[in-house]
Amino acid sequence: DAGVIQSPRHEVTEMGQEVTLRCKPISGHDYLFWYRQTMMRGLELLIYFNNNVPIDDSGMPEDRFSAKMPNASFSTLKIQPSEPRDSAVYFCASSPVAGGQETQYFGPGTRLLVL
Amino acid sequence: RKEVEQDPGPFNVPEGATVAFNCTYSNSASQSFFWYRQDCRKEPKLLMSVYSSGNEDGRFTAQLNRASQYISLLIRDSKLSDSATYLCVVNTLSSGGSYIPTFGRGTSLIVHP
């Protein structure tokens, strides 16, 4: 299995632009998680999906952030408009069972820099 | 108070040393616990789960103390390759019936020759 795939791996954009991050989970995993990691705040859970349905989005910082999962093999995290404080590493992870007794498998992350 | 707290370190130890990390959690309803390892500029990867009875995997031992609400990770005979950041993860059942994973901010370990 190729593992969790994220694209792009790096993104540099200017403030105000729309940013779309993409994730392909491991086949057969029912759960998909989006995280953001910064030096200041560590790894924060933004949202997670079960069978393509958003279960908990309490970690989404504000309305500028949105996430979708149109099918079992694809998810997007969109920031519109982007701001410099959104600069971070964004990880996608998938799990066969929602965190209860199974591990999460992380993608390599997208490093976002908003100028 | 943060839900999951770790000493950020860094812990700077010589090869062969034994080092231990603790992680405290605030929600007594937390259900499951894990240690992840994250190398510089890489994604987190599972190191080991933490079971109530404690568990060992080679040089690594994890323990859970529910009464005091902390988990620990012990690394014996440290290797240079153990240098990384160690993240503890606590899964807690939410009011909605779903498990919410919360990561600590990690403890940095540097093993030197």
Confidence (pLDDT) at B20:
96
Whether the per-residue pLDDT at A1 is higher than 80: the answer is no
User: A98–B99: do the CB atoms touch at under 8 Å?
Assistant: yes
Q: Compare all CA atoms of chain B with the CA of A42 and give the residue at the minimum distance.
A: B105
Confidence (pLDDT) at B82:
98
Counting Cβ atoms within 10 Å, is residue A76 exposed (0-12), middle (13-18) or buried (19+)?
middle
Q: Compare all CA atoms of chain B with the CA of A107 and give the residue at the minimum distance.
A: B43
Alpha-helical runs (H) found in A3-98: none
Confidence (pLDDT) at B1:
55
Confidence (pLDDT) at B100:
83
User: A33–B34: do the CB atoms touch at under 8 Å?
Assistant: no
Contact map slice: A 51-70 vs B, CB within 8 A: 55-56
3-class secondary-structure state, position A105: strand
Contact assessment for residue B79 and residue B15, using Cβ atoms and an 8 Å cutoff: yes
Per-residue pLDDT band for A97 (boundaries 50, 70, 90) equals confident
Cis upstream peptide for A25 (omega within 30°)? no
Of the residues A104, A110, A111, the best mutation for testing chain B's interface (the one with the most B CB atoms within 10 Å of its CB) is A104
Confidence (pLDDT) at B29:
82
pLDDT 10s digit of each residue in chain B, 113 long?
568 999 999 999 999 999 999 999 998 888 889 999 999 999 999 999 998 888 999 999 999 999 999 999 999 999 999 999 999 999 888 777 777 889 999 999 999 99
Residue A104 has its nearest CB partner, among B96, B101, B106, at B101
Task: Locate A113 and state its tokens.
Answer: 């820099």
Confidence (pLDDT) at A54:
92
- pLDDT tens, residue by residue, A60-95: 988 999 999 999 999 999 999 999 999 999 999 999
Residue A43 has its nearest CB partner, among B91, B96, B103, at B103
Whether the per-residue pLDDT at A100 is higher than 90: the answer is no
Mean pLDDT of A1-27: 95
Instruction: Establish, for the pair of chains A and B, how many residue pairs have beta carbons separated by less than 8 Å.
Output: 52
The strand pairing partners of B110, in sequence order, are: B12
Nearest to A69 by CA among A21, A1, A18, A101: A21
Q: Does A73 touch chain B (CB under 8 A)?
A: no
